[in-house]
Amino acid sequence: MLFAFYIKNKALSDNPRLLFLRKNLEEAGCVLYDIESRGDLRQGTEAVISVGGDGTFLSASKRVADSGIPIIGVNMGRLGFLSENKPEDVAEALVKGEYRLENRTMLSASISGTDVDGKIDFWPYALNEVTVHRSGAAVLGISVCVDGEELPTYWADGLIVATSSGSTAYSLSAGGPICTPDSKVLIIAPIAPHNLNVRPLVVPETAEIEISIRSRDASAIFTMDNRTMTIGISARIRVSMAQFSLKRIRLSRSSFVKALVSKLFWGEDIRNNGD
């Protein structure tokens, strides 16, 4: 079996727990190699092992998503929601096939009507969310059309369009709903809205979303997962579901609800402790 490792923080390379994982895979007859970019992927790779936290997993998704090769996250970071697995639990599960594959929706975005700062590195896909955010002190007026139907203008610091995977990321902090990973929806959530009567909106993942902005500032910030660029106020952003999905490995013993409870302390209440 052929496995690739993606390690964004090179200081982790000599971590004893990671070395133990490598040793167990090699003793099981697996061939291991490291990747830095999408071009490093070898034909026949069974999976990419992302070592770090959720930020590393998002970076790994950029390198793997459209290849069809699945990713498993190994948590050497902090929260570890996407990268939920302990290094000690991974080797045996991969070798024995004790896991299932999840197809995670990816977003595709295009920007027109403005020059994009750093466009040469623009990869138009995201796993969690795309956002537009004010770059200065002025509030943004954000116009949104969903399948050609215009919504009331959002007056806010910014706007998030998130997948179900991203429902537990930035969207959650902005008051968006939690969605199970297999939910076929997108979430439109304003960031710090200057209205008392706006709420996040859930739409089908097949929706075509168009965003335009106005502000007294000359530019705004556009993000795709953990990648950031500056765009002009004249920009028009189009967001839709990508034509491919990310294949994510979930070990048999793990579950989304358990992750919510253990990572985000969902339902934490003295009455739930069984005493």
Positions marked active-site? 54
What are the CA-CA distances from residue 154 to residues 190, 195, 216, 217, 232 (Å)?
A: 7, 8, 15, 16, 18
Token pair in block for residue 41: 């992927």
CA 146 to CA 238: how far, in whole Å?
A: 10
Pairing state of beta strands 227-232 and 219-224? Answer: antiparallel
What are the CA-CA distances from residue 270 to residues 67, 120, 176, 264, 275 (Å)?
A: 46, 52, 25, 16, 9
